[in-house]
Structure 1
Amino acid sequence: MNFKHVSVLLEECIENLNIKGDGIYVDGTLGGGGHSSHIVQQLNDHGLLIGIDQDENAIKAATEKLQGHLHKVKLVRNNFRNLEGVLEELDIKGIDGILLDLGVSSHQLDEAERGFSYMHDAPLDMRMDNRNPLSAKEIVNEYSETELARIIKEYGEEKWAKRIASFIVKHREEEEIETTHQLVEIIKKAIPKAARLEGGHPAKRTFQAIRIEVNQELEIIEETISAAVKYLNPGGRICIITFHSLEDRIVKNAFRRLQNPCVCPKQFPICKCGGVQKLQIITRKPIVSTEEELEVNSRARSAKLRVAEKV
């Protein structure tokens, strides 16, 4: 099986994880095992890597990629939102670092039949975990016009959200929308011609919005950060790569709240609320890809890495 996924900001992640040979590390978005293969190389036989992914193809690909290191690896097919449950099941009391590479993987985009890409005609699916009962087809055909407009506006930051939702609803009254290209054509009709000529593919933002809704991508970020911080040992690092402004904002704000949890009015001379600092932010500004990386992997253009350390 050819699971092609280029690891983004690889050197920067490995450097910022501050890997100790005998430490316990979690790769919450295993993908093809690119980041993980570099983490395990720095672990001795007392170290452990826990790799989590909800995509069964990713688990298979990572098992192949990590051959020779499997004695210090535990691979779990799950969603990183269930981090606490995964660690409890493995009887892990503390970890020394966690990496999350958010969003859709190159492999999932390139595998046309998964329905993630607006460039390939395929059934409307977009599920990162094929056990998920909700797919893009249900959202497009069953959500109300108001719900569709809301998710396209909020998750896609699409200014034509209302028009797109209205065109989708009109079309599905005639026939069910079953494929990615049917949806692309509807979106193109909804967006005025002049607006279609600016800012990339006209379907990009709507597809992003539907994918986020299918996989509940935004809700799970903050709860996972809280669970990770609970398990991080002092000095342990949390590294998160985001690919769009919504994800980045959630990570930035969560890190800030955990660094400065005080909610007392500014005029209070001392803190009365009892908020305790849990994280120290390491990256004041996010780390972005170098020109060299962008030449090799154009998908890294929007990637941002934020890092914080448990105090």
Structure 2
Amino acid sequence: MRAVIAPNPGGVDALEVVDLPQPEPGPGEVLIRVAAAGLNRSDLLQRQGFYPPPPGITDVLGLECSGDIVAVGEGVTDLPPGTHVCALLTGGGYAEYVTVPAGQVATVPLGISLVDAGGLMEVAATVWSNVFMMGKLQHGETLLVHGGGSGIGTMAIQLAKAFGARVIVTVGSPEKGDFCRELGADVVIDYKQQDFAAEMKSAGMTADVILDIIGAKYLDANVSVLSTAGRLVVIGLQGGVKAELNLGALMSKRAAVMATTLRARPTSEKAAIVSAMVAQVWPLISDGTVRPIIHATYALDDVRQAHQVLEESSHIGKVLLTP
């Protein structure tokens, strides 16, 4: 089968399309013929050598995909061959075939094409597990999302609005700001033109939950705009890994700072996230309340171009590969 690896860390030229043996499903696994694979920023980090796959996991890039089940391993009885599915992966999505534990697989929601579903699992699982399961966002509360035009950002806006929250987003361009407003964002702040914390403070706004992809660079500012009993959830480190935390400011608000990743979690935890997500989010997708936002699709041979688009942050929503 054809697949994408980055044997020598580096820029987009490090990506290579190679021929590899087709994997076989083990006990509790399914084999998926990939229709589409979603790109994520963690893929860029893996290509650069900063985010290697966990021990025993394939070097093939890709943390989510959609496709058809073509074979199942021992013990799998509820996902027969031919089922249209999307899957949360630990690796291997940039390929024609991939194996994955059955608990990390879900049938494609009604009304969503098989290709578009390739960009659904990582963003939906990330938002549901961090904003709702960890951050415990409630009806009537305010969510601040950094990177509102990203795949995660566009999903977070839609889900938060669906559950009755107010949404503030930061974006890097007027075009992304307009799109976020169309999705339902109540307040849009262009971080290239404005200081988000200063803008929020001048308007008397605070956030009950913050979904942060920046990390160290935004830590102090994020804490400064947290509400009393607010929750800051850090899921990315684009702005660095080390920063000084003002514990006094945190204590005065009785607030919390949490940091999490999805890839390294045990299979049982991922399966629990997928199960809860399917129960809560899939109905909203099926009735049209929430939809995957797809920026563009690229053939597997054009993976370097796809990575370049993601690296430049010129996209809105998800970028997909279609093997």
**TM-score normalized by structure 1?**
0.25
Return the structure number with greater helix share. 1
Higher strand share: 2
State the structure with more CA Rg: 1
